[in-house]
Chain A
Amino acid sequence: MQQEFSGLAAWRQAASRHPVWIFACACFVLYLETWYWRYPPRGYEATDVVAIGESAGEPLVNFSRVWDRLFNDDSYMIDVMNHADWPVAGTRETHLRELNSAIRPGLSYAMRGQGLAEIRFTRGTIEYLRPLLRAFTGQLLQQLRTSTAREFEKRRFRAAVGIEVLTRRRIALQNMFQIFDAGRLMEWTFGEPLPNAIPESETSYAGKIASASFVGLAGHLTIDSVHYQETMALQAWSDLIASDPGPIVLAPREPMLLTDPLSPPRLVQPLGMSVYLFIPIACLLICAAGLMLAEGGSTPGRQASDKDAV
């Protein structure tokens, strides 16, 4: 024990002979601890999960196209920075420099399945992380909603036009072949007179001949297929315009933010705070190495006197 004590005493004395080095090491520890407190390894990240609007299983907008369009739009991004009260002042050049150095490298997205997009913002420090992501996602959602609504209207118009075209074609074919409307035939009940598709006065001799022949059979088939297409188009139409059924919507028509905008950022590297534990140990080793090197150059006479003092 005495020997161990004497060893420690030698170290203590060596430390007292090199106070500047000890002070520098202590400062180094404090600096690193403070630095990692503010900028933990790999920084913080915040994520927002957005459900992209879809209808009848089809996404209404292409998210990557919208992302590329907005992400590369400098005025849009500067607008986002202003909304988030990003701490930058000065000219537009300063804003752009900050945008390209601090914001764009940290922003990214990843598709989770078909209808979900995860937007991630990574930054060295926690400050202004969530406000910027909130502002960005908010603006992005606005754009998505606008695009989605426009696309929805476009699709609804196309579907309506398609149904109208099919209905007209069916009516034209029925008129040509003098065949009952298949829909009205289905409504007919036994014992009642057969429904008339078209008033008797409008029937023609050629039509009667046609309906009783091979041409008539072909007409039947054509009208059936058109009717089928019409039914499918009507079904798609009802899917398209159906309103959202309840609070949990698996595939909402409108883009919506699923995560809470107030959810706190988290560390990118799990257990990243363990660095606080290792910094003092590492610096202790570096400090000890410095003492060894410094003392190694000491004169033998001083070493002997140190040993005597112990």
Chain B
Amino acid sequence: MKAASLPAWLSWYLLLMPLGIPLFTYLVPADLCLVVVLVMCLGSRWQEGIPRLPAPADVRWEAALFVAFLGFSLLGVSVFQNSDSYIFDLVSVLWLFTGAWLIQSELKTDALVATGVSWFNRLFLPVLLFNLAGMATHWLGLDEYTGGVFSFRLYLPFRFPILLGAYLITAYPFAVAWRMLSFRKRMAAGIGFLTVVSGIGARSCMLIAVFQVIWIELVIYGKERSLFPRWLKMSLFVAGVLVAGLMLSGEFTLQRSLGTAGVKDLVNDEPRQRQLECATEHLPEWMTGIGLGCFKVVHGEELHNTPVNLLVETGIGGFATAHVALLLIFLPVIRKIRYGTRVEKHRAGILLCVALSLYLLGLFHNLLRNRFVWLVLALAAGMGDRNGQEEAVRDERSDHAGAAPAI
């Protein structure tokens, strides 16, 4: 299958996404690509003359729902009082929406989505190996040479461990299942993935990583024909993971990831319980919400639960709008799992696995301003785009008629 080509800015954007250290303010290297393309878009618009106010019929439903979401976010009762925080969150969400919009507008066919995913996958292995090497230096007592950056929770090349966790959880199914790696490669990648996730020291990430590995092996590769039976392969895989776990059993971050040291178990998580109690204090205001980004100003900490955060900050309207948008974006993907071709089913399954993982992770963290969440939304919108559907089907037919697909 001939790889469809993406615009250079998008290729670079997807490639640089795993480098999450901000260059200035909150902009990471990948954002520079968006800045460039936005400047170009605005320049070309400027040359065409004063931009016309788009007619309502010309606006797509994704944009319409986003406008509705902005409306609900403005209804919050504390917006004026915490205007700086509101504006920060508003600008962040606008920026991420613009990025996702630009990405999905370029991903018009499944082939382009596949190319985009392959660009996104390119740094997965280097990031994984980098962190494994970092863990090894810590294990060997070489912290003085690494400045101690690997001595506690892994976070590089991001600012916070949870960002690395969100990246790995997004990238692992794409890197392993999208390309249909062989069992040996998959086992190596899976053990490396679980090892690095254990070094992040986040229970939520660990749980979801285990869920992903099991999902990929049982659901996505469930029907794979092979020489050895599935139970034997799974046993081998589990044995490999257990060996890695035994080797790392003395590591604090692994124990923290398993919830056996440093943190209380998830059902008695005091900070999250406290945050949820604070959220219920706003119960009378859930109709309209308290305003986007206002929770952390009012209570001095973020609410580590994205759906509840949406409910508290943007009210029932914002919460419903966001979930309707999610449903509308993923319905075509689900439809592809049911009615699509074999390749479509496979890719849609992976996308759904990533989306489900991120939604689960969102129950433990606030991921509204996470770039990977918006990337997955853009990929899903691109994959389920009706305009590109026919072209995608044509691509698949030619794939099936010609050479065997990559899987």
* A residues whose Cβ falls under 8 Å from a Cβ of B: 1, 3-4, 6-8, 10-11, 14, 32, 41-42, 124, 269-272, 274-275, 277-279, 281-286, 288-296, 298, 303, 306-307
B74 with A285: CB separation less than 8 A:
yes
A42 and B77 contact, CB distance less than 8 A: yes
Looking at chain A's contact residues, the main secondary structure is helix
Q: Which one of A11, A274, A275, A278 lies within 8 Å of B55 (CB-CB)?
A: A11
A283–B80 alpha-carbon span in the complex (Å): 16
Q: Could you give 24 example pairs across A and B, Cβ below 8 Å?
A: A3-B49, A4-B53, A6-B52, A7-B54, A7-B55, A10-B56, A11-B56, A14-B55, A281-B74, A282-B75, A283-B75, A285-B67, A285-B70, A286-B67, A289-B64, A289-B67, A290-B64, A292-B59, A292-B61, A293-B65, A295-B56, A295-B57, A295-B59, A296-B64
Chain A residue with the shortest CB-CB distance to B59: A292
The minimal Cβ–Cβ distance linking B325 to chain A, given in whole angstroms, is 11
- Closest chain A residue to B67 by CB distance? A289
Question: Is B285 a contact partner of A303 (Cβ separation < 8 A)?
Answer: no
* B79, closest chain A residue (CB): A278
- The reply on B71 being an interface residue by CB < 8 A is yes
Q: Which residue of B lies closest to A277 (CB)?
A: B80
Q: Which residue of A lies closest to B71 (CB)?
A: A285
Closest B residue to A4 by CB, please name it. Answer: B53
The reply to whether the CB of B72 lies closer than 8 angstroms to some CB of chain A is: yes
Complex formed: what's the CA distance from A59 to B67 in Å? 60
With a cutoff of 8 Å between Cβ atoms, the chain A residues found around residue B70 in the complex are 285
Task: Indicate whether A41 sits within 8 Å of B67 (C-beta atoms), given known contacts A7-B54, A8-B53, A286-B72.
Answer: no
**B50 partner residues in chain A, CB cutoff 8 A:** 1, 3-4
Q: Which residues of B contact A (CB under 8 A)?
A: 49-50, 52-57, 59-61, 63-65, 67-68, 70-75, 77-81, 284-285, 288, 317
Across the interface, A296 reaches (CB within 8 A) one of B59, B81, B284, namely B59
> Which chain A residue has the least Cβ–Cβ distance from B81?
A271
Q: Which residues of chain B have C-beta atoms less than 8 A from A274's C-beta?
A: 79-81
Residues of A within 8 A of B63 (CB): 292
Residues of A within 8 A of B79 (CB): 274-275, 278
A265 and B64 alpha carbons, distance in the complex (Å): 42
- Whether A291 and B56, one on each chain, are in contact in the complex, defined by CB atoms closer than 8 angstroms, is yes
Q: Which of B49, B57, B81 contacts A298 (CB 8 A)?
A: B57
Contact of A3 among B52, B75, B317 (CB under 8 A): B52
Further 16 A-B residue pairs, CB within 8 A, beyond A269-B78, A286-B317, A289-B65 = A3-B50, A11-B56, A14-B57, A32-B288, A271-B81, A277-B80, A281-B74, A282-B72, A286-B68, A286-B71, A289-B68, A289-B71, A292-B59, A296-B56, A296-B57, A306-B55
Q: CA separation between A41 and B317, bound complex, in Å?
A: 17
CA–CA, A292 and B55, complex, Å: 8
Q: Determine the distance from Cα of A293 to Cα of B69 in the docked complex, in whole angstroms.
A: 13
Task: Considering the complex, give the chain B residue whose CB is closest to the CB of A310.
Answer: B55
CB distance from A124 to the nearest CB of B (A): 8
Q: How far is the CA of A42 from the CA of B55 in the complex (A)?
A: 39
Query: Are the CB atoms of B68 and A285 closer together than 8 Å?
Result: yes
Most buried by B among A4, A7, A298: A7
Which residue in chain B gives the minimum CB-CB distance to A281? Answer: B74
Across-interface contacts of A296 in B (CB, < 8 A): 56-57, 59-61, 64
Rounded to whole Å, the gap between the CB of A232 and the closest CB of chain B is 50
Do residues B68 and A279 form an inter-chain contact, with CB atoms below 8 A?
no
Contact of A11 among B49, B53, B68 (CB under 8 A): B53
Residue contact B77 to A306, C-beta cutoff 8 Å: no
* 6 cross-chain pairs, A with B, having the tightest CB-CB distances, nearest first: A7-B53, A285-B71, A41-B77, A289-B68, A274-B80, A292-B64
For residue B54, which residue of chain A has the nearest CB? A7
A10 and B55 in contact, given A284-B71, A288-B67 (Cβ under 8 angstroms):
yes
In the complex, the number of residue pairs spanning A and B with C-beta atoms less than 8 Å apart equals 107
Instruction: Point out the residues of chain A lying under 8 angstroms from B55, CB to CB.
Output: 7, 10-11, 14, 295, 303, 306-307
> In the complex, what residues of A have CB within 8 A of residue B74's CB?
278, 281-282, 285
Q: Which partner residue on chain B sits nearest A275 by CB separation?
A: B77
- B53 near A41: Cβ-Cβ < 8 Å: no
Q: Tell me the bound Cα distance from A290 to B321 in angstroms.
A: 11
Bound CA span A10–B53, Å: 9
CB distance from B14 to the nearest CB of A (A): 29
Q: Which one of B78, B80, B81, B284 has the greatest number of beta carbons of chain A within 10 Å?
A: B80
B56 pairs with A279, CB closer than 8 A? no
Give B277 Cβ to nearest chain A Cβ, in Å. 15
A306 pairs with B72, CB closer than 8 A: no
A4: chain B residues within 8 A (beta carbon): 50, 52-53
Within 8 Å CB of B80, what residues of A?
271, 274-275, 277-278
Q: Which residues of A contact B57 (CB under 8 A)?
A: 10, 14, 292, 295-296, 298, 303, 306
Q: How far is the CB of A150 from chain B (nearest CB, A)?
A: 40
Closest residue of B by beta carbon distance from A299 = B57
- CB-CB < 8 A to B73: which residues of A? 282
B53 closest partner in A (C-beta): A7
A180-B81 Cα distance, complex, nearest whole Å: 76
Docked-complex contact B72 and A14, CB < 8 angstroms: no
Q: How far is the CA of A267 from the CA of B279 in the complex (A)?
A: 21
> A2's closest neighbor in chain B, by CB?
B52
The answer to whether A288 touches B78 (Cβ under 8 A) is no
Least Cβ–Cβ distance between B52 and chain A, in angstroms: 4
CA distance A32 to B67 in the complex (A): 19
> Hey, which chain A residues are within 8 Å of B61, CB to CB?
292-293, 296
User: How distant is B292 from chain A, measured CB to nearest CB, in Å?
Assistant: 11
| C-alpha spacing A109/B74, complex, angstroms | 34
Complex alpha-carbon distance, A290 and B64, angstroms? 7
Give every chain A residue within 8 A of B67 (Cβ-Cβ): 285-286, 288-289, 292
A295 to B60, CA, bound (A): 10
Rounded to whole Å, the gap between the CB of B332 and the closest CB of chain A is 16
- Whether A279 and B75, one on each chain, are in contact in the complex, defined by CB atoms closer than 8 angstroms, is yes
Residue in contact with B78 in the complex, picked from A41, A286, A293, CB distance below 8 Å: A41
Rounded to whole angstroms, the CA-CA distance of A269 and B60 in the bound complex is: 38
Q: Which of B52, B60, B75 contacts A278 (CB 8 A)?
A: B75
Q: Which residue in chain A gives the minimum CB-CB distance to B86?
A: A278
Which residues in B have their C-beta under 8 angstroms from that of A14? 55-57
Report the Cα distance A7→B54, complex, angstroms. 6
Say how far B197's CB is from chain A's closest CB, in angstroms.
Answer: 39
CB contacts (< 8 Å) of A11 on chain B: these are 53, 55-56
Per the bound structure, the CA–CA distance linking A173 and B399 in Å amounts to 119
Tell me if B64 and A283 are in contact (CB < 8 A).
no
Task: Give the distance to chain B from A187, nearest Cβ to Cβ, in Å.
Answer: 68
Chain B residue nearest to A302 in the complex (CB): B57
Chain A residue numbers with a CB within 8 Å of B52 are 3-4, 6-7
